[in-house]
Amino acid sequence: MVPNEALQLQGIVQLLLHFRWKWVGLVSIDNQSGEHFLEVLQPILSQQGICSAFIKRIPKTHPICSIEEILEKISNHISFFQNSRANVVVIYGESVTLFWLADLLWWNDIGMNMLASEQKFNLSSGQVWISTAQIDFVFNNFQKDFNIQMFHGTLSFSIHSKEVLAFEEFLQKVKPSLANGNSFINNFWENAFSCSFSNSTTIDECTGEEMLQNLPTPFFEMSMTGHSYSIYNAVYAMAHALDMIYSSNCRSKAVPRSQDIEPWQLHSFLQKISFNNSVGDEVTLNEHREVMDGFDLINLITFSNGSYAKVKVGRLNPKTLLEKEFVVTDERIQWHGDFIQVPPTSLCNDPCQPGFHKVRKEAEPFCCYDCLQCEEEKISYLMDMDDCISCPEDHYVKDGENVCLPKVIHFLSYKEPLGITLASFTISLSLTASFVLGVFIKYQHTPIVKANNQSLSYSLLVSLILSFLCAFFFFDRPIQITCLLRQTSFGIIFSVAISCILAKTIMVILAFLAIQPHSKTSKWMGRKLPVFIVLSCSFVQAGILATWLGFAPPFPDVDMHTLEEEIVLECNEGSTKMFYCVLGYMGFLSIISFFVAFLAKNLPDSFNEAKFITFSMLVFCSVWLSFVPTYTSTKGKYMVIVEIFSILASSTGLLSCIFFPKCYVILLRPDLNRREQLIKKKK
């Protein structure tokens, strides 16, 4: 009476998975039961990523006739273990399978002494033997000399059992004198104690007083084994079935005698029977008359005197399907002493370390593979990964490290030193421009202010103040409104500033032409012309900006790919072509202003206005010509820094070249700021 065989197979697979054993040998008895075991187990192993290193079928008998045949069989059998990296072997069959292994070791020891050193085989390295519940570790008398140490650390599935009260006392009282003609007891006694009840000249005589508890455990166990417990429950089940037969027949008033009951009549009563045995265990049989109980996992611990102990180290319980069905206590397991690493490994090849991935070998089982290093920008953070994975977009792989690191969010902040420096310069320059505007307003009635077209000077100074302040739109985390205002404010303000400079230059030329004899240009002199120039030039830029905002406006964007270690928060221009159209139009106005100012630089002028404008436009054009290649070659927040620097530098060039000389005269050389001096210079 045994549990479901499928449950034992499930336990074997879970045990292999628990210790990550992926390369195992299979030893099975060579009969129909063994073939069925292999046919069912191998597909399950494959599904769980476990491979069979070798399969060995063991015959029930293996007669040997000569020493040569002995050595040949040793060579054939041991080669399976020697030539394989499998440290784990699953054994299925009967006790004869275990005897075959013991015989193999025994014959190997004999063969080792008969062979030359270079021909010797070696089974000294440890193995983890996993045996099924069908195998019982009980040896025969003629196997007393076997070295049981080879089985040290064996993990064996055993039918779940409990100690039955007074069972050991019962065994201690068993004597041949109480056999009452049972020849089994006498035969067992003679075999166990190597004695004879008949007069023999070769072996000792059995006294009948030998003690069973003195027998080594490989030959007799005083405790209740799984097989004994199964028989114990089977007897109880038969008793309950007989009781049910008698009870059913009593109701029909036809009570049969026990010798009249055929075995087949018990079958229907044994299906789905349930009872509690004397130790309190609930015993239930299903419709296939299989006991609805699990298996114990036993660790075999051997000793130098040839005895062993069985330690329960796990439990496979089908009644706890909703909980953890298979439980193993790793720390209680003792492994074979030849293992350097515990728990031991059993793999076809060394596992792939993190940073590598598996590549299957051709013509080899899927458990055998090579390890290749991950490609750039990919990692494998676990052992034996089938493929490397890419980091998330917001992470990156640092050179030489197999880990995804979070990218740093990247934008120009007020809190960083460079941001503080640029913001300080921006405020200082805007205050300087405001101061110059205040000076011009305060001294608006002086000749130098009047001679430089007050309205254009005021408009230019206000434009420069705003151009400095518009740099603040480039700071901090981009949002929709700042992205829209960045280039539009920069484009329109600078267009107004350059238009004012162009208008001032044209007015200088017209003023010179107006004083020439018979000149008709005096009719162009007045306030309408500079206003017209400024407005018309600015409206063209406004039209370009409106087209840009209408079809492809700038928007906040996240660039995760340009810089390897950083996430760039930026304003996407929407249309790069429109951005360069704005710059191109500004460049067009700048070049015109520069050439006009350059042509007028030698004209007689009270305060060298044309020359100052020429220098200012030279600075302006130089800054923005260097801006384009620098801007396109930088990434991240440094693009923003380049644009801020270009805005501040070009605006500072206009302010210093055009207005600083006038402020110098107004504040430090008031003697030059007189009408007489103005007339003198004109002459």
| Average pLDDT rounded to a whole number, residues 389-400 | 86
pLDDT at 257 over 60: no
Q: Is there a contact between 397 and 377 (Cβ–Cβ < 8 Å)? A: yes
Which range is least confidently modeled, 260-264, 406-410, 577-581?
A: 260-264
pLDDT at 117 over 70: no
Tell me what percent of the residues of the chain surpass a pLDDT of 70. 81
Distance of CA 233 to the CA centre of its chain: 51
pLDDT band at 105 (very low <50, low <70, confident <90, very high): low
In whole angstroms, what is the distance from residue 619 CA to residue 413 CA? Answer: 28
**What is the predicted pLDDT for the residue at 223?**
78
**What is the predicted pLDDT for the residue at 13?**
92
Q: Which residues are 369's β-sheet partners?
A: 360
pLDDT at 122 over 50: no
pLDDT in tens, 608-642: 677 888 888 888 888 988 988 888 888 878 889 99
**What is the predicted pLDDT for the residue at 480?**
93
For the chain, give the mean pLDDT: 81
pLDDT at 524 over 60: no
Per-residue tokens: 576: 């790069």
Do 5-160+294-332 and 417-515+525-680 agree at the fold level? Answer: no
In whole angstroms, what is the distance from residue 645 CA to residue 667 CA? Answer: 29
pLDDT band at 561 (very low <50, low <70, confident <90, very high): confident
pLDDT in tens, 300-359: 888 877 778 888 999 888 765 445 578 899 999 999 888 888 899 898 888 889 889 999
| Average pLDDT rounded to a whole number, residues 511-520 | 56
Backbone angles phi, psi at 567, to 5 degrees: -100, 115
pLDDT at 181 over 60: yes
| Average pLDDT rounded to a whole number, residues 420-446 | 93
pLDDT at 656 over 80: yes
Note if the bond before 343 is cis, omega within 30 degrees: yes
Collapsed DSSP state (helix, strand, coil) of residue 483: helix
The arrangement of secondary structure in 5-160+294-332, i.e. its CATH architecture, is 3-Layer(aba) Sandwich (3.40)
| Average pLDDT rounded to a whole number, residues 478-503 | 91
| Average pLDDT rounded to a whole number, residues 128-144 | 70
pLDDT at 541 over 60: yes
Helix (H) and strand (E) counts for the chain?
18, 21
In whole angstroms, what is the distance from residue 21 CA to residue 1 CA? Answer: 31
What's 655's DSSP letter? H
pLDDT at 77 over 80: no
The arrangement of secondary structure in 417-515+525-680, i.e. its CATH architecture, is Up-down Bundle (1.20)
Give the count of beta carbons closer than 10 Å to the beta carbon of residue 625: 12
pLDDT at 396 over 80: yes
**What is the predicted pLDDT for the residue at 322?**
47
What's 589's DSSP letter? H
Q: Is there a contact between 320 and 351 (Cβ–Cβ < 8 Å)? A: no
**What is the predicted pLDDT for the residue at 422?**
93
What's the whole-model pTM score?
0.62
**What is the predicted pLDDT for the residue at 493?**
93
| Average pLDDT rounded to a whole number, residues 227-241 | 82
Which region holds residue 289: left if phi is over 0, alpha if psi is between -120 and 50, else beta?
left
pLDDT at 654 over 80: yes
Backbone angles phi, psi at 278, to 5 degrees: -70, -20
In whole angstroms, what is the distance from residue 652 CA to residue 531 CA? Answer: 24
pLDDT in tens, 42-63: 999 999 989 998 888 877 665 5
Buried b / exposed e along 584-612 (16+ C-beta atoms within 10 A): ebbbebbebbbebbbebbeeebbbebbbb
**What is the predicted pLDDT for the residue at 29?**
85
Q: Is there a contact between 280 and 256 (Cβ–Cβ < 8 Å)? A: no
Q: Is there a contact between 128 and 346 (Cβ–Cβ < 8 Å)? A: yes
In whole angstroms, what is the distance from residue 374 CA to residue 626 CA? Answer: 42
What CA–CA distances, in Å, run from 591 to 137, 605, 619? Answer: 103, 22, 12
| Average pLDDT rounded to a whole number, residues 406-428 | 91
Which range is least confidently modeled, 232-241, 266-275, 349-358?
A: 266-275
DSSP 435-462: HHHHHHHHTTTSHHHHTT-HHHHHHHHH
Buried b / exposed e along 87-104 (16+ C-beta atoms within 10 A): bbbbbbbbeebbbbbbbb
Instruction: State how beta strands 326-328 and 308-316 pair.
Output: antiparallel
**What is the predicted pLDDT for the residue at 655?**
92
Residue with tokens 């089908």: 318
**How many residues are there in the chain?**
683
CA neighbours closer than 13 Å in the CB half-sphere of residue 641: 18
Residue with tokens 């000249």: 201
Helix (H) or strand (E) holding 53: strand 51-58
| Average pLDDT rounded to a whole number, residues 109-127 | 50
pLDDT at 200 over 80: no
**What is the predicted pLDDT for the residue at 119?**
44
Tell me what percent of the residues of the chain surpass a pLDDT of 90. 24
pLDDT at 147 over 60: yes
**What is the predicted pLDDT for the residue at 171?**
83
Give the domain ranges of the chain: 5-160+294-332, 166-200+212-222, 224-246+261-292, 356-406, 417-515+525-680
Higher pLDDT, 526 or 436: 436
Note if the bond before 604 is cis, omega within 30 degrees: no
DSSP 334-368: ---TT-SSSS----SSPPPPTTEEEEEPTTS-TT-
